[in-house]
Structure 1
Amino acid sequence: MSRLPAAFHWTVPVRGDGREADPGRRPRGGWNPGARREFRPVFTDPRPGNVGPFDHLSAIGRAADVAGFDGVTVPFDPDGEDSWITAGTLLRETLWLRVGVEFPPAFATPVYAAKLSVSLQRFTGARLDWHLAVDIDPARRRALGDHVDGDDRYARADEFLTVARGVWHEKEFTYEGRFHHVLEGGFFGPLSGVPFPRVHLTGTGDAALALSARHADVHVFGLDDDLAEHTDRLRQAGRERGTDIALGLRVPVLARADAAEAADDLARHQAEAGRAAGPGAEPTGLVGSYDDIAARLAEYRDAYGITQFFLAAHPAVEEAYRIGEHLLPRLHAARTPAEASL
């Protein structure tokens, strides 16, 4: 049993949002203005517009907070809004949510990332999580000025997390590595003694699982991963190091009142995106009634011990309320007695 109770997190889109099936045509947040539907108000307002791109992201965070999610995740997208700025503001905008910021190890030095995080933890009641994006597409990584390849990516991530924890928990921390060097670093005064962010890692290769065994609080898999094999390998790596790693699952969902309505919406989305329904269609995640999807997620919990679920759907505001009203109560009702006591 994971030391973390079952939790459900919502995904914040950082490159446009909306009802459109094609991600390239989602206009909300100031993206893809050519796809925006014309809006004719019944009154006129001569003042200049003060509603900016963040207001939509803020609405998603507030919706997830009100709907009863345990947290939100802000993905790293080189072509989208910055995940750190978005996550920091969502922490300020919400009251209860844990906010996970996804970022690559090349984002900054581990000391600077730790310094940013210790202030965010102090300001927001220690609600910040880290999602370290180690395995980024090589072309995108080089476009960002990062030329570390192969298993060196995981060696650097290992050093990054070692140094970040070191300066966080120790005074006069010194480290000499291949990628990072620190001489007598560390935080003092009110910046010390703050909880370190929960670390989320991904991947199914040997280097990725070994990194999680050393550093992860949560290892997040995808629906397409061979969960039986990979969760067993991760648990074995954790046992060898004496670590207890919670398991997470990233799950796109299309949940409706009944399976027929969900199937109709799926067919409409696929038709809008120019894709044929059936074999060969783009992976959609879990599609079905609220009861169907609650049962499927319970199966992942029971079969693989997964307790952290990272759900996603578009449009993010409306779907957050829908999932919060209809799916989350079923998921909480399905918690085991052991989970409910955590």
Structure 2
Amino acid sequence: MTEPRFYITLPTRGDGARGGRGPAPVPASAVATDLRPGRYGPFDHLAQIARAAEIATFHGVLAPFDPAGEESLVVTAGVLRQNRWLRAVAGFHPGIATPVYAAKLSASVQRFSGDRLDWRIEVDLDPATARAQGDFLRGPDRYARADEFLTVAKGVWHEEDYTYEGRFFQVLAGGFAGPLAGSAFPRVHLSGTSEEALDLSARHADLHVFDLGDDLDALVADLGGRAAARGRTVAYGLRLPVLAREDEEEARAEAGRRTAAGSPPAGLVGSFGGTAEAIRAYADRGVTAFFLEARPSIEETYRLGEQLLPLLTGVAESKEIEHAD
């Protein structure tokens, strides 16, 4: 059994007053606070969350694709530059740029980060969101383009004299050489439950990320069969909003306060022990990567790192011992 990996999702559109787009509010007693405007902004806040994730021994962070948020590739580049061990996952959609440019940008990020960048490709956007991004493809064409996007990106990454002629992209005698060559291609994360989404993952994904409401067992079996037919294997991840406290009563009370204040409730609410047990159950069903969502991000990242992750250390080893017995 593979040891689960844990990621914190970064709030790229802000995380309350500290993570907003303007300067931080001035506290009532600012004895040792720098009051100059513009000295603390959203990227400082994101950097602090990523630093908290590294200190708290998370494996990585996710900068999700969010049209109203900061650009994920910029955020991940900054995070990787400022941290030594974290992986960073950049979410974007295939209409962001040509696959050659996306690959070149990512090759440079890999070079200065020691190959710690992953891609989360968002294919099936809401139609209004897609059009606002200048993307007017619909239906299966979105997945056909994503297939070509990943094929071309991998092609120019691994071959010096690469030519491709497709419906959406063309390359003539391209490919990386010199300083861009030699780095690891970003791990590809995909999602979705449609036939097209599962087929795309079977061809290209290193990790397929599900949501809490998905029929996990059926989808894992389906995708595993599709990937095996192509001689591949795909790992499985889970998007997991979480609110954990010392006991379930405290967690429920906090969830109630947040709901009353207009914040959406977390998906998994309970004690640290109960949350760890739920995560173990998902790990038993094949999930090896958990993308935790918790707000406010700095405080919750430390809290989860100090109180939850230690309960999950050695999950794989303990299960192997149980099976051996």
Scaled by the length of structure 2, the TM-score of the pair is 0.94
Q: Which residue, 284, 295, 298 being the options, matches 2:280?
A: 298
The Cα of 1:30 is off from its aligned counterpart by 2.6
| SS class of match (1:335) | helix
Aligned residue runs from structure 1 range 199-278, under 5 A: 199-273=188-262
1:325 and 2:306 matched? yes
Alignment gaps of 5+ in structure 1: 18-25, 275-281
Equivalence for 2:14: 16
Decide whether the 8 Å contact of 2:9 with 2:61 is kept in 1. yes
Corresponding letter in the other structure for 2:302: Y
Write out per-residue CA displacement over residues 54-90 of structure 1, whole angstroms, 9 at most, x where no aligned residue: 1001100100010000010001111111111111101
The Cα of 1:334 is off from its aligned counterpart by 2.4
Decide whether the 8 Å contact of 1:213 with 1:237 is kept in 2. yes
Decide whether the 8 Å contact of 2:202 with 2:226 is kept in 1. yes
Equivalence for 1:62: 51
Equivalence for 1:152: 141
- Percent identity, aligned pairs only, is 55
1:114 and 2:96 matched? no
Query: Distance between the aligned counterparts of 2:320 and 2:81, measured in 1?
Result: 29
Query: Distance between the aligned counterparts of 1:326 and 1:297, measured in 2?
Result: 14
Relative to 1, partners in 2 of residues 1:333 and 1:135: Cα closer, same or farther, differing over 3 Å?
same
Query: Distance between the aligned counterparts of 1:39 and 1:181, measured in 2?
Result: 59
Equivalence for 1:23: none
Decide whether the 8 Å contact of 1:6 with 1:339 is kept in 2. no
Equivalence for 2:82: 93
Query: Distance between the aligned counterparts of 1:101 and 1:177, measured in 2?
Result: 25
The Cα of 1:289 is off from its aligned counterpart by 0.8
Corresponding letter in the other structure for 2:17: P
Decide whether the 8 Å contact of 2:3 with 2:316 is kept in 1. no
1:29 and 2:19 matched? yes
The Cα of 1:270 is off from its aligned counterpart by 1.2
Corresponding letter in the other structure for 1:310: F
| SS class of match (2:316) | coil
Scaled by the length of structure 1, the TM-score of the pair is 0.89
- The runs of at least 4 consecutive aligned structure 1 residues that moved more than 4 Å come to 35-38, 43-49, 337-340
| SS class of match (1:219) | strand
Query: Distance between the aligned counterparts of 1:114 and 1:107, measured in 2?
Result: 12
Query: Distance between the aligned counterparts of 2:37 and 2:210, measured in 1?
Result: 45
Corresponding letter in the other structure for 1:191: L
1:52 and 2:33 matched? no
1:336 and 2:325 matched? no
Alignment gaps of 5+ in structure 2: none
The Cα of 1:339 is off from its aligned counterpart by 8.1
Equivalence for 1:7: 5
The Cα of 1:333 is off from its aligned counterpart by 3.3
Query: Distance between the aligned counterparts of 1:213 and 1:336, measured in 2?
Result: 28
Equivalence for 1:182: 171
| SS class of match (2:13) | coil
Relative to 1, partners in 2 of residues 1:230 and 1:283: Cα closer, same or farther, differing over 3 Å?
farther
